[in-house]
Copies of this chain bind each other. A is one copy, B any other.
């Protein structure tokens, strides 16, 4: 059990009493309220006692009065996002903290009690709700539909369709004419995956090629081995993988089967995760640009001044040995 022996937090009333001023004065000093002229003497006094008492304004009281907290809640799907989004979240955390906000992340997984789904808003009243990860399981839908704050979606930050297009266009430029697509079976990945696949299909269609051959894969090497067999049997010579993780598993399966990339089968991934440096051709996602775009979106939604959107392209083709 939580035995909370910690001393009661000092309230603004404590600071007021110790300073011999009114609570209002304390509030004005601590908030640097404009149009309220407090003498430098009392200001210093209040500041000093506040620090001495370790006063931290009670967030609930403040939020209760204000109507909403300075909290931004980010809803993310229950999967490993990978380092691109992780980095973006880190940068966003910092950017928000510097402006007096706090970023709190909630991994929305399936709940046992269905009525617990939207209980989150019974615990926290954020100023802004954002979603990341592109997935919309029904829980996220339930959560956003009755959120006590505006909701910001991450759609549009990463141009998934263009990712797929770039993958396919590169393979096509390398004279591949039958393209395969490694589609993750995880439903949480589907929103992104289908956009990326659409881009691949676009490029194939424009080049006059037949539609890409989709194979669903999980996280087992065996499954990828089967997919590889299917592709080769189908005359496929180049495969676009939904992301680098998938691509690396495909390459591993090929290695197990004694096949070599790109001669037996070319593989191109997406994201440029660290392990991709081992030789995976991929469409790199610029983590700095990605983070900057997120920050721009969120700050704008909050009405905070934001840096202009970065001009550098978020996508970049990185050719290595696998394709």
Contacts and interface: CB of A to CB of B under 8 A. Distances in A.
A249 B274 contact: yes
Contact of A93 (B90, B101, B106, B118): B106
A57 interface: yes
A31 to B, nearest CB: 12
Nearest to A251: B278
Interface residues of A, number: 80
Interface string A94-108: 100110111111111
Contact of A252 (B109, B127, B278): B278
Given A60-B69, A97-B119, A4 B150 contact: yes
B274 A252 contact: no
A123 B2 contact: no
Contacts of A63: 60
Interface in A106-148: 106-113, 116, 118-125, 127-128, 146, 148
Contact of A245 (B64, B121, B275): B275
Contacts of A83: 80
Nearest to A125: B59
Contacts of A54: 146
Given A275-B249, A277-B219, A102 B119 contact: yes
Nearest to A63: B60
Given A149-B4, A277-B221, A98 B127 contact: no
Q: 6 tightest CB-CB pairs across the interface, nearest first?
A: A252-B278, A1-B303, A102-B123, A219-B274, A105-B105, A104-B104
